[in-house]
Amino acid sequence: MVIRQQFADLPVSVCPKRFVKQPLFWLPFLSRRVPTVAVVYCLEQPKGWGMNRAARIGVLCLSVLIFCYAGIGHALRTTPDDKAYKSLTVYGEVLQKIQQDYVDDPNMRTVTAGALHGLLESLDPQSSYLTPREYEEYKKKISNPGTGETGLTLSKRYGYIIVLSVLPDSPGIKAGIRSGDLLESIGGFTTRDMSVGQAVNLLNGQPGTGIKVSVIRRGKAGTPDEVDIVREKLATPKLIAQKMDPDILVLRFPSLDTGRSEELRNRLLDAEKQGIHKVILDLRECGRGPVAEAIAIARLFIPSGTLTTLRGQTVSTQVISAEPKQVIWRNSVSVLVDTTTSGAAEVLASAIEANHRGDVVGERTFGLASEQKLITLDDGAALILTVANYYNADGKSILEEGVTPTEVVRAETQDDSDGAEDDSAPAGAPKEPGLGPRPLSPEDPIFHRALDLLKTPAKKAA
């Protein structure tokens, strides 16, 4: 069964047997956006997963409403908006029944907050609802340039917070956190009921202070590890350059922070002076930075064509194109990606691939290229809402589909090593806490394939 196959590598501690045996457990995963998981969760929540009774009732109420929407989805899309909004009376009726008939007198504020958290999370992994108190904390942290961070890029998977990538030399790396790890709890709060915005809010704080996280290691079942992460004020990591051959330069991107395109421009000009004619852009473990930097980098390589398109319900469609005068590298280029590649890095890889500028080698990327907007509410709460998605030159949503490489190569994992050295971390992740990225080598299957492809006739820009 396809659904069960998708959960084959889910740690046992995340997926209790009494859950798996029930047909209802698998229903929500028929689509990653079906929010009825809240119903199953409320009815069968294992002990210790944190959500109090009132909050569970809130999510249950909202799930009932959304389930009703799903059942009449097509009809709602083809009827006037006022008729669609009439269905909201279902939610009001459910709340009324809870107040009147529930065994205890519920805290309706908690019930409503739980329902709103569930509503935003059902949209996509990056949309979040922040209560007034959470939003106050959020504002203080983002407005303070000295806020301590952990260096983790996060999303949601299997209902939990998942680590997409970890910055080199960051507190996350020093604590031994790896891409693909699930954070079961943060600061004692289960992430099963937590949005990405809430998780980031908890992880950030005063430099020098610590936060305890419970980590389920990638591909491993059993008891979660308890890890202390000490927050630090992060510096922008530099490009990592490695000359693999007299004619080949590998540039590894830990992030696409502002200024990265100018740093790359200087590297490329120096490389050309040194007689280097082949470049590999390693975008594995790259999940931070604005899309504007990805576009600026793409323009250094691509002389013509559409780089990406931004579209949303209330956002004017923006077709972003190459600029011939910006091109400085017309020699061969290859791009390395895997499941840890997300956000702006996906836009860059997609632009190179769709414009046939070079080979994209590795695994399908995570799928997280979108724009969020912060919307404040009258009661002091706020929404972090996805308002637009990025599409590749072929019109495919990067958020929905990720970027499929031109040359698909499976990254080596611990299961491939037959119990030898732990290779479960993606290429570029440290072997031990606190160390920098491990050196590239021909044993890295993705990198090895990229080297082979560079031996073929060069793909030059026009």
pLDDT of 418 reads 36
pLDDT of 244 reads 85
Q: Is residue 382 part of a domain?
A: no
Q: Are residues 282 and 417 in the same domain?
A: yes
Q: Are residues 394 and 415 in the same domain?
A: yes
Q: Are residues 350 and 445 in the same domain?
A: yes
pLDDT of 439 reads 56
Q: Are residues 116 and 136 in the same domain?
A: no
Among 203, 230, 257, give the residue marking a domain's end.
Answer: 230
pLDDT of 72 reads 45
Q: Is residue 309 part of a domain?
A: yes
383-402 core/surface letters (b: 16 or more CB in 10 A; e: else): bbbbebbbbbbeeebbbeeb
Instruction: List the CATH number of the domain containing 209.
Output: 2.30.42.10
Among 72, 101, 122, give the residue marking a domain's end.
Answer: 122
Q: Are residues 307 and 331 in the same domain?
A: yes
CA angle, residues 11, 200, 282, in degrees to nearest 5: 70
Q: Are residues 262 and 363 in the same domain?
A: yes
Report residue 441 as tokens: 């080598």
pLDDT of 343 reads 96
Q: Are residues 100 and 216 in the same domain?
A: no
Q: Is residue 461 part of a domain?
A: no
Q: Is residue 330 part of a domain?
A: yes
Q: Is residue 15 part of a domain?
A: yes
Q: Is residue 381 part of a domain?
A: no
pLDDT of 290 reads 96
- Strand partners of residue 156: 161
The dihedral region occupied by 35, where left means phi > 0, alpha psi between -120 and 50, and beta the remainder, is alpha
> Which residues form the domain of 87?
2-122
- Provide the domain count of the chain: 3
Q: Are residues 199 and 343 in the same domain?
A: no
Query: Shortest CA distance to 224 belongs to which of 238, 208, 235, 213?
Result: 213
pLDDT of 30 reads 35
Report the chain (462 residues): mean pLDDT per 10 consecutive residues. 36 38 36 37 40 55 53 48 65 83 84 85 90 93 91 91 94 95 95 91 96 91 91 94 90 96 96 94 96 98 97 94 97 96 97 97 95 95 96 92 95 48 37 44 86 75 58
Q: Are residues 260 and 350 in the same domain?
A: yes
pLDDT of 39 reads 37
Q: Are residues 139 and 179 in the same domain?
A: yes
Q: Is residue 235 part of a domain?
A: no
Q: Are residues 412 and 284 in the same domain?
A: yes
Q: Are residues 295 and 438 in the same domain?
A: yes
pLDDT of 167 reads 94
pLDDT of 85 reads 63
